[in-house]
Amino acid sequence: NMGRGVAASLARAGHEVLQYDRSAEAVASSAAQHETIAAVGALADVATDVAAVLVSVSNEAAERAVFLDADDGLFAAVAKRPTGVVVLNLGTTSVAWARALHAAARDAGLAFLD
């Protein structure tokens, strides 16, 4: 999947990467291949002490769950952290959905790029 490839590229470039995936096996595989990739068990843990969060999921429904879930969504988690974290969406989505995500991020006080 694209997210694992992005994480691997960042790791090869020398960046420390916190990786979350709905598949624990996928994250374990990435972490085993690159010493600068650390697996995290919950989506909210990705937003801990980072400069940027990159999201690569398969479709708008998955993005809705990742970004907007009220209990453990990424926007809620990042909004609780110190300011300055940039959230980047790497998915291919409709213009309407991208605008909705931008509005939700703005309402949460977040820096968001799509």
Q: Where are the alpha helices (DSSP H) in 17-94?
A: 24-33, 60-68, 74-79
Question: Crossing angle for the helix pair 2-12 and 24-33, nearest 10 degrees?
Answer: 20
Question: Measured between alpha carbons, how far is 114 from 94 in angstroms, rounded to an integer?
Answer: 11
Q: What does residue 2 show for φ and ψ, rounded to 5 degrees? A: -65, -35
Give CA–CA dist 4/21, Å, rounded.
9
pLDDT at site 103: 96
Three-state DSSP class for 88?
Answer: strand
Q: Which residues pair with 54 in a beta bridge?
A: 88
Per-residue pLDDT of the chain (114 residues; tens, 9 = 90+): 788 889 999 999 999 999 988 888 888 888 899 999 998 888 888 877 788 899 998 899 999 989 998 777 889 888 887 777 899 999 988 999 999 999 999 998 899 999
pTM for this entry: 0.86
